[in-house]
Structure 1
Amino acid sequence: MAERGLLVLFGSQTGTAQDTAERVGREAQRRHLCCRVEALDSCDVANLIHEPLVVFVCATTGQGDPPDNMKMFWRFLFRKNLPAGSLCQLDYAVLGLGDSSYPKFNFVAKKLHKRLLQLGGNPLLPVALGDDQHDLGPDAVVDPWLIALWDKILALYPLPVGLEIISPDVRLPPKYTLHYLPEDFPHPESDLLQPAAPQAAPCELHPFAARVVSNQRVTAQSHFQDVRLIEFDIAGSGITFSAGDVVMIQPQNCPEDVQQFCQLLHLEPHRRFVLEPTEPGTSLPPLLPQPCTIQYLVTHYLDISCVPRRSFFELLAYFSTNELEQEKLQEFSSAQGQEELYSYCNRPRRTTLEALWDFPHTTCAIPADYLLDLIPRIRPRAFSIASSMLAHPERMQILVAVVRYKTRLSKPRRGLCSTWLASLNPEQGDVRVPLWVKKGGMKFPADPATPVIMIGPGTGVAPFRAAIQERVALGCRGNCLFFGCRHQSKDFYCQTEWEELVTKGFLTLFTAFSRDQEEKVYVQHRIRENRKLVWELLSSENAHVYLAG
């Protein structure tokens, strides 16, 4: 009989598709299938011709784009020279996750399904299109689709004689076992985050620890919004970038949250451990040093400030010794309880740490081995680069609006990365931030004579600051910027810089301060007022138009 193997491949931008793929993996485990769950770009695409059974779980980002961790796979799959029958041995199923309020709803899943068919693949089921807009979220489609999928798979690969599906009441083993090291185990000399220059260009697996040079508030103290202009020293990093590129920053949890988490779970922050995969062949988490401390794991890896998903409550219910708590956790992890879960978690943006506070009996019973199954890793955040290497060699600047807002919870919600960045004070010593650069979607004209019209309200002006600096350094004068904010005196970022460039003839600037007069004025009003100039630039000079915000 054919080996009962299943490969689950995901393309995920925010973690939802990965979470769903891992759910498929757990359900496969219960059916005694030998299952691997991987990001699409982590698998060797050429080996796809040898895979008999693959489930694809794909999100769609932006304007119908594939997520970052499946872009290489995407390019390979759509190569024109792939033979038509190359995947004729493949049984597959595609599950898409999207949002029907976007015009290209689930575009990636639909296109992938079609391409696999062209290459001779055999679909087990029609493509499933999960929708964020549904009252029950994507699970409204995912739940029934999975039931149908397992029916199909078990018809092809029946359970071995004498084995039954592992009941949902039985807790599956953790992905890793956490082995504590004795207190007197020798410490490695190396620092966990090396500031030394990497061998190749920095990337997610090997970020560069950039020194923070300055962290300046660019809004008035009286303004409700705290916005920072932060400068990093990238000398010796091998990093290069152009206007329109994006810097990825790996944030960390604040010390108070880390301390609370360790207290709640009765964890000793300074204990060191090594991880061992439960299943042979499972790779270790790439961004965790071995050995590692609990403090490092909670600070740099576990996303205790994210809004927990359904799978979090599902796993948590297994540890509960308290009947009331267990009942609530089981409700949150059931299909019928999704509306209730949305009201408890998503609407007020309740964090994982806060949810753990609400289930104290269960929380103190969580085995440390399950931490990496329970809580996802902290994802990097993207920021438009707000400076040019031509103007600031070996430096990089970003414009960061510190995220802070109220929900019905008493404590204000705070953005993990922006709050952490704002807290960094370079005057208190050598402060470093792990980062790397990604090509942006915004490309400025190769011909410096081509004029550019840039519309950048608020921090949307960041990539245009980089573009203007770059173009001014090259002597280009056709720079037209429409900038909007609330008050000229409170949040007109980089005012002096813009005014200096206007005086020198490098910049045409139009500003809209929405709250400085009774009638609200926005950038679109300024564009309408200056429509003759805009049309002239477009029709006679082939100007390029850019919008960010």
Structure 2
Amino acid sequence: MHARVIEKWLQTHPDSPQPAWLVTLEADSPLVYEPGDWVTVTGVNQPAWARAILAQLNLDPETPVTLRRHGDVSALDALIHHLEITLLDPALLGKLSRQLGLSYWPDRDAMRAYADSRDLLDLLIEYPDIAQLGVELLPLLTPLLPRYYSIASAPNPSAPNQLQILFKQLEIHQHGRTRYGVTSTSLASADTTANRNAMFEIAIKPNPQFKLPVDPTTPVIMVAAGTGLAPFLGFMQARAAQGARYNQLYFGETHAAQRFLAQAQLSGWQQAGLLQLVTAFSRDPQPVDYPTPYYVQHALLKQQAWLDAWQAGGHIYVCGSKLGLAKGVESAIKQAWLNHGLYAADALDQAWLDARKSGRIALDVY
């Protein structure tokens, strides 16, 4: 299925690094999804990046190359549209080691460690003997992979072909170069002019473990940091349409003035009495008795309205970083349970597992 960007809104201050965007995608046929589902989007690599790789390989852009999925294409087209150049696959290092008899990476752990912070251009610059493969290297590369995004909207009967996504435009400074997220940059730079819309290949991916309760009177507690807010915009659109009023959101970012994502939408639901909103802006000044930096997991311990909702049968949803947000939120929830005598210390881990198993706690982490 193909879709075009028809609207986009910058969600952060223009001077804020790694800007966040909310975009509307319009597909060429109706979209079937539920709040909490994902959409995959396939972007394109930056031409300048592809040309830099061609220079390292000493290849003319029009050099023909045969790719398994796409047949005969030019080397430049292959690198822009069909091959992964920003994520270095450790399996590629294994292939190269076997074919060329290289001993740069003694084992799989070494290959993973090297690949984790580098891309294809790094590899060619650091190992010129690999660059000497020229066009023979291209068919060994991983196909360009689609990126997963949490859908930031609920289905809209009046616009059945549309959905929204909220994302950070990735920009990383590493090894003396600036590199950019493939799909996030493609989406952020997409032309929204009707006759110039760039087309993206998309696919809906169900997320069955991250669904709203059927009963709209069930309290819903949402916890997010940064663009982990995305699925909760869809949750709130659906809950508002149901007239569900027991909704709480604990949202964390760095600065309120620069990175209060979807502020207008959240404030509107709050003013309508549909949402209790608690924020944690980690880099802003905090009250004297607050920890610094102040994260969303700290807000869960400071502002515990969620605990009453939990005891009333509420469901907790967490979206964001697996190692940062999710671990901190799990620890804060267990600490609150313990502090209020809901569970004994030796029962906390099992209580968490039971809540996960029953669906009362759901995670969408990455």
**TM-score, normalising length: structure 2:** 0.76
Cα–Cα, structure 1 residues 379 and 526, in superposed 2: closer, same or farther, change >3 Å? same
2:298 counterpart residue number = 525
1:380 to 146, 160, 183: 146
Q: What residue number does 1:292 align with?
A: 73
Q: What amino acid is aligned across from residue 221 of structure 1 in structure 2?
A: P
Do the aligned partners of 1:455 and 1:483 also contact (CA within 8 Å) in 2?
yes
1:273-293 Cα offsets, whole Å, 9 max, x none, are 666xxxxxxxx43xx2x4534
Partners of 2:268 and 2:21 lie apart in 1 by 21
- Whether the 8 Å contact between 1:390 and 1:469 is mirrored in structure 2 is no
Question: Pairwise mapping of residues 9-28 of structure 1 onto structure 2 (< 5 A)?
Answer: none
- Kindly tell me the number of residue pairs found equivalent between the two proteins: 312
Q: Does 1:434 align with 2:197?
A: no
Distance 1:338 1:525 in 2: 35
2:173 equivalent among 378, 381, 406: 406
Structure 1 residues 357 and 317, CA gap change in structure 2 (3 angstroms): farther
CA RMSD of aligned residues (A): 2.7
CA–CA distance in structure 2, aligned partners of residues 294 and 499 of structure 1: 49
From the superposition, tell whether residues 361 and 524 of structure 1 become closer, same or farther in structure 2 (CA, over 3 Å).
closer
Match of 1:258 among 50, 54, 64: 50
Distance 2:130 2:35 in 1: 49
- Corresponding residue for 2:317? 546
Task: Kindly indicate whether residue 121 of structure 2 is the aligned counterpart of residue 353 of structure 1.
Answer: yes
Paired residue for 1:452, among 205, 213, 220? Answer: 220
Letter in 2 for 1:506: L
Determine if the alignment matches structure 1 residue 475 to structure 2 residue 243. Answer: yes
Inter-partner Cα distance in structure 2 for 1:253 and 1:454: 34
- Return the letter of the residue paired with 2:282: S
Change (3 A) 1:310 1:461: closer
1:489 partnered with 2:257: yes
Residues 128-156 of structure 1 deviation map (CA, whole Å, 9 limit, x = unaligned) = xxxxxxxxxxxxxxxxxxxxxxxxxxxxx
Cα distance in 2 for residues equivalent to 1:334 and 1:505: 60
Larger Rg: 1
* Structure 1 counterpart of 2:347: none
Aligned equivalents of 2:87 and 2:298: distance in 1?
38
Please report how far the alpha carbon of residue 508 of structure 1 lies from its aligned counterpart in structure 2 after TM superposition: 1.4
TM-score if structure 1 supplies the norm length? 0.52
Q: Deviations over 1:332-365 (max 9, x none)?
A: 1544x964x667x346x22112211334455244
Instruction: Give, in angstroms, the shift of residue 311 of structure 1.
Output: 4.1
In structure 2, distance between residues paired with 1:253 and 1:418: 11
Q: Deviations over 1:452-507 (max 9, x none)?
A: 11111211111011010011122222211111112211111111111111121211
**Whose helix proportion is higher, 1 or 2?**
2
| Paired amino acid for 1:524 | Q
Give the number of the structure with larger relative contact order, counting CA–CA contacts within 8 Å between residues 6 or more apart: 2
Show the counterpart of 1:513: 281
Partner residue, 1:331: 103
Shift of 1:295: 3.2
**Corresponding residue to 2:6 among 209, 213, 219:** 213
- Shift of the alpha carbon at 1:449? 1.8
In 2, the alpha carbon distance for the partners of 1:307 and 1:382 equals 18
The residue identity in structure 2 corresponding to 1:307 is L
Where do residues 3-402 of structure 1 align in structure 2 (5 Å cutoff)?
A: 208-234=1-27, 236-270=28-62, 284-285=68-69, 288=70, 290-309=71-90, 311-312=92-93, 314-315=95-96, 318=99, 330-335=102-107, 339=110, 345-346=114-115, 349-360=117-128, 362-366=130-134, 368-369=135-136, 371-373=138-140, 375-390=141-156, 393-402=160-169
